[in-house]
Every structure is written in structure tokens, then in C-alpha cells.
């Protein structure tokens, strides 16, 4: 499967949040995750917002990658702004459902995030017209992987 792309650029989050809020979220991600490269917090926020906008219209269950989940956790801490964003893009609150139940999930309808879920998420994001930053959509953190394009088996783009 080829990665869906659009003509949108990275940092499209600037169009969906007040600049001051986007700056605060990027700074918080950077502070709480100093292991990330300098460009990664903004990329994470961008993909988090694209993921949430996809959640608003998805007809099948989708889930975030580990890196995108960092952005979701950060944004949801700003409860007022997060709730307003959800209401604006989805008309409802988008709940975060952890996958820590005995079978990897809390509710039977929420799939454990695996390669198939990430692949479905990437496809749904592309179909919704969002830019997909493919390195952020693997089962391993992009900062941990040293085998890029060297036979990965969990790539969401396969």
C-alpha cells in the first residue's frame, strides 16, 4: 500500500488552533519528551490534529500510533481547549479510550493498536484529505527505529 498524500504541508495545525495554543502544545511535548528531535513535537501535533479530525468522521475504529498518542495525551490535558476543538470538528467530545484491558482494550469495540489498525488509520486519514507523516505511524517510535526501509514488518504503509 502506498502512503496517501495530499498537497497540504506539515504544521497544518496552525490553521486549526490559535497560534498561542499550538505553541504551548508543541513546547509541552518537547519539554516532556526531550528524546525527540527538534522537529518532532510540531509533527506530532500536526498528526494528532489530523487523527482527531479523522476520528470525527471515521466509520470504522481507528487508533493512534505511539507518537501520535503523545500529542493526544498532551492536548487532552488542556480540557477546555480540547473540548472546544472536539465540538468544533466533530460536534461531540472525542474520548480517549486506553487499550489496557485484559485483552488489550477496555471495550470490545476498541481495537488494540496494531499494524492493521495503524494501516486502517493511515488510509482513513488519507481518504479524509489529511497529510500523512508516515514515519509517525509505525508500531515503534520513529526515534527508536534504525531499520527504516530495511524489511520492517509493522509498517502501516504495506
50-103 pLDDT, tens digit per residue, is 999 999 999 888 999 999 999 999 999 999 999 999 999 999 999 988 766 555
Is-contact 43 71, C-beta < 8 A? no
- Taking the mean position of all CA atoms in its chain, how far away is CA 8? 16
Rounded CA-CA distance 29/73 in Å is: 9
CA quadruple 14, 16, 20, 25: dihedral, nearest 10: -90
Mean pLDDT, range 21-49, rounded to an integer: 97
Quote the pLDDT of residue 26: 97
Least confident among 92-96, 124-128, 150-154: 150-154
Rounded CA-CA distance 130/141 in Å is: 21
Q: What is the DSSP string of 54-93?
A: HHTT-SS-----HHHHHHHHHHHTSHHHHHHHHHHHHSS-
Assign 43 to helix, strand or coil.
Answer: helix
Looking up cell 493512534 gives: 64
Model-level pTM?
Answer: 0.77
| 97 or 18, higher pLDDT | 18
- Sequence spans of domains, the chain: 12-136
CA distance between the termini of the chain: 5
Mean pLDDT, range 151-156, rounded to an integer: 43
Instruction: Please give the mean pLDDT across all residues of the chain.
Output: 80
Q: What is the enclosing helix (H) or strand (E) of 42?
A: helix 40-55
The answer to whether residue 31 scores a pLDDT higher than 70 is: yes
Rounded CA-CA distance 35/114 in Å is: 23
The answer to whether residue 8 scores a pLDDT higher than 50 is: no
Amino acid at each position: 500500500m502506498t502512503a496517501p498524500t495530499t498537497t497540504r504541508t506539515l504544521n497544518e495545525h496552525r490553521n486549526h488552533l490559535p497560534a498561542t495554543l499550538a505553541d504551548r502544545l508543541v513546547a509541552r511535548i518537547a519539554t516532556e519528551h526531550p528524546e525527540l528531535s527538534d522537529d518532532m513535537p510540531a509533527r506530532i501535533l500536526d498528526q494528532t490534529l489530523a487523527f482527531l479530525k479523522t476520528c470525527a468522521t471515521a466509520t470504522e475504529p481507528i487508533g493512534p500510533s505511539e507518537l501520535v498518542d503523545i500529542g493526544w495525551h498532551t492536548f487532552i490535558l488542556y480540557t477546555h481547549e480540547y473540548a472546544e476543538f472536539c465540538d468544533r470538528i466533530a460536534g461531540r467530545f472525542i474520548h480517549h479510550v486506553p487499550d489496557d484491558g485484559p485483552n488489550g482494550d477496555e471495550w470490545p469495540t476498541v481495537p488494540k493498536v496494531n499494524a492493521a489498525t495503524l494501516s486502517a488509520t493511515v488510509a482513513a486519514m488519507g481518504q479524509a484529505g489529511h497529510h500523512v507523516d508516515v514515519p509517525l505511524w509505525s508500531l515503534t517510535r520513529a526515534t527508536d527505529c534504525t531499520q527504516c526501509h530495511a524489511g520492517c514488518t509493522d509498517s502501516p504503509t504495506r
